[in-house]
A and B are shown apart, each in its own frame.
Chain A
C-alpha cells in the first residue's frame, strides 16, 4: 500500500495532454485569465498545505464541532444580550457584510476549481469553495437565532439583497472581485491581496477584539474561518510566481488595483469596529496600529519577495490611515438611519484616546463631533429627536468604490470630477479615478446612488429612499444607541447651565 506522501501527488496532479480539443478551448483566456500560457508553464504549480479530501473533511468536521460546542456553551441569546451595546453593533456590521460576501467567494473559487491552469490549483480551489460555503453558513446559522430578539440581525441575510448604499458599494466590489472574475485575477485579487494581505490577519485581529469584548462566540467563529483562509489563500502565491515570469507589469497593476479596493472596504469594517464600536478599555490597539503591525509590514515584505513595487499611491494610502475611517464614521453617524445598525458618539475619554492615536487630523474631526454633540444638547436626548440630529440632504458617492465622497480630510476633500464621452463622473480619490480610467468599459455604465436618484430610478424623498430602496424600517434603521442620552453630555449640559 502506498503511504500518504506517495499517493498524494498522484491524487492532486491529474493533468494530461488533450487529444480531441485544443488546450485554449478547455481553458479559454476569457475565463481562465491573462496571460494565457500552455500548461507546461503551470506544471510546477504547488502550495504548501497539500491536503487530501479525506483530511479536509476530517479537519473541517472537527472545526465545526468546536464551533457548535462554543455556541452551546456561550453563544446563546442570553450570552449575546450581555454584550456591550456598541460591540453588538460591530457584530451587526459583520453579520451583514460577511456571509453572502463569502458566498460570492464560493462562486469565484469554483471558477478556479474548473478554470485554474493546474490540477493542484483546481484541487485547492475546490476546497476553497467548500471553505467559503462554510463561511456563509456558519454566520447565517449563528446570527439567525438573534433575529427574534433584534430585527437588525435579519440583515445577515438581507443586506446584499437590498439597494442600501453600503450594499451597492459591497456588491460593486464583490461582483468584480469574486462573482464575475476570471481564475487568474481571482487568485491574485482574492487569494493573494484580499485574503493573504487583509482578511487572514483581519480575522486574527477581530478574534482578539471579540475576546476582549467577552464575545467568545464571535471569537470562535472568526478563528475557525481564519484557519480556512490561511490555507486557501495560499493559491495566490504560486499563481503570482508564474505570472511574474511572463507579465510583471500586469501583476503590479492587479495588486495595486485590488490593494486599494480591498483597503476601502476593510478600513470601514475593521476601522469602525476597532476605534468606535469596541469599548475603550477593551481596545488592544488602534486601527492604525493594527494596520501597521499586521497588514502593512507583511504586505511590503510580500512585494519585496516578488520584486514588486509599493503601489504608486502609497503616500495617499498612508495618509488615509490617519483619517479615512474617521471621515466615514462621522458621516455615517449623521446619516445613521440609512444603515441597519446603531452608532455611538465617542465619549470625552475616547476622543482623548483618538487624539493621542491620530494626532495628525484629530483637531478637525473633534470639531465635527463637538458640533454633533451641540445639536443633541440643543434638542435634548430621546428617540423622538433622532432626526433632529441627522443629515437631511443627499450625501454623494464615488463612481468607482460607490462609497461616500469622504476622501482627504475635513480641510481638503479629494473628490475629483471626470468628463468622459459626454458623461460626468466623480471619484473620492486619485486611486479610484486611476482604476476607473484603466478599465473604463468595466465601470462606466454603473450608476452610483446620486445618479439613480437624479434619473428617477431611486426615490428622492428621504423616507421612501430608506424604506423602498434601502429596505429599512423604523425598527431596523440605524439610531444613536443611547438616543443622545450620554452621562457625560448631561454632565456637561449641567455645568454649562
Chain B
C-alpha cells in the first residue's frame, strides 16, 4: 500500500543536485466537508490549489464521496483554484478547508 507520507530518502542526494532542485513539500492540515477528521496533506509549492483540493478529496474518499464542484478556503477566504500553493501563501501546519461550492 501507499506510504502514509513521504519516506526519508534512503541514499544521500547526488552532489549534482543543487539546492534549488530540492523542493520542500508544505505539510498542511486539510479538512474536507463531510469528513470526520482532519488529514495531513502535503502541498507542492508549484501545484495548484485545485490539485491540492483534489488530493485531500482522494485522501478522504473512503469516507466522503467525490464531488467535482469544490472550493478551497484558507484563513476563512475562498482561494482562486488556479493559484499555486506558493501564490496562495500556504504556510506549513496551517489549516485549509475544502467545501462544496455554494450555489449562487
Contacts and interface: CB of A to CB of B under 8 A. Distances in A.
A454 interface: yes
Interface in B58-104: 59-65, 92-95, 97
Given A394-B4, A453-B5, A368 B63 contact: yes
Interface string B20-59: 0000000101010111111111000000000000000001
B2 interface: yes
Contact of A426 (B6, B34, B62, B93): B93
Which label, helix, strand, loop or mixed, suits the secondary structure of the B interface?
Answer: loop
A368 B2 contact: no
A390 B63 CA distance: 9
A392 B31 contact: no
Interface size class of B (residues with CB under 8 A): 20 to 34
B2 A395 contact: no
Contacts of A410: 33-36
B17 interface: no
Contact of A330 (B36, B40, B93): B36
Interface in A322-336: 326-328, 330-331, 334
B18 interface: no
A364 B34 contact: yes
B94 A417 contact: yes
Interface string A87-130: 00000000000000000000000000000000000000000000
A455 to B, nearest CB: 11
Contacts, number: 118
A404 B37 contact: yes
B37 A460 contact: no
Contacts of B2: 392, 462
A413 B6 CA distance: 26
Interface string A410-422: 1101011100000
A387 interface: yes
A398 to B, nearest CB: 10
Nearest to A388: B1
Given A372-B62, A460-B3, A462-B4, A426 B37 contact: no
Interface of B: 1-8, 27, 29, 31, 33-41, 59-65, 92-95, 97
19 contacts: A330-B63, A368-B34, A368-B36, A371-B65, A372-B62, A392-B2, A394-B39, A395-B40, A396-B29, A396-B40, A405-B37, A406-B37, A410-B35, A416-B95, A426-B93, A426-B95, A450-B27, A460-B4, A461-B4
